[in-house]
Amino acid sequence: MRIEMLVFDGLDEMDLLGPFEVWSHAARRTELEVALVGLDGPVEVTGLNGLQFRAPEGLGTPDALLVPGGGWLDRAEKGAWAEARRGVTTARIAELAPRLRFVSSVCTGSMLLAEAGLVKGRAATTNRDAWAELEAFGADVKQNRVVDDGDLVTAGGITAGIDLALHIVEREFSAEIADGIAATIEYTRDRDLHLVAAGN
C-alpha cells in the first residue's frame, strides 16, 4: 500500500511529521510505502514554523492520501486556508478521492477535505477551534482524537496525527505492529477513537 502525504507552503510541520515518523517505521515492517509529494511535482516547502524541506515527487495515483493543516484558523497567506482559496488543491483531492482506499487529514487539513466536498454527512473531526466550520460543511463532527469513517479518516489538532497514523497501521496491518512502533518511538497511544463501522 502506498500513502502519499501532500505538502504545501505554510503547513503545520507536526501534522505531517508525526504520521511520517510512524509510517516510516511501518514501511520497514510491512508492505507500506510512504512518500512526501507536491501537488504538481517535486517541491521545496517552508512550513508554518519555518522548517524547510523537499518533497521529491509529485502527487500520483496512491492507495491513500494524507492532507495536513496549518494556517487555517488565522487565515494565513500560506497554508490550508490559502490552498482552499486557490482551489487547485481541493479540486485534485476531489478528483482523486473516489479511487483511494482512504483519504486522511490532520488538524485543519480536514477543512481542505471539506472544501473538496468529502465530509458532508460523514463523521469527521478537526482542530477544536474549527469544529463549527467543519459542521457548517455538513460534517457529523465528533470530538474524538481520531475519527474513522471507512474511506475518510480524520484527526484532531496537531499531535493527534500520530494517533491517526498508528490507527491506520493497526487497521491495515495489525495491532501488534502498531503497538510495536509506539513502543519504538516511546509514545503512549491515545485510543480516543470514533469508529463508524463499530457504531461508536
Query: Which three cell numbers, joined as nine digits, stand for 87?
Result: 482551489
Among 107, 112, 114, 123, the active-site one is 107
Calculate the CA 174 to chain-centre distance. Answer: 20
| Cβ neighbours for 37, distance < 8 A, ≥ 6 positions apart | 4, 5, 6, 7, 55, 57, 58, 59, 60
Residue 124: active-site member: no
Helix (H, G, I), strand (E, B) or coil at 23: helix
- 138 contact partners, CB below 8 Å, separation of at least 6: 119, 120, 121
Q: How many CB atoms lie within 10 A of CB 101?
A: 15
Closest CA to 48 of 18, 22, 14: 14
Are 141 and 131 spatial neighbours (Cβ–Cβ below 8 Å)? yes
Residues assigned a catalytic role: 107
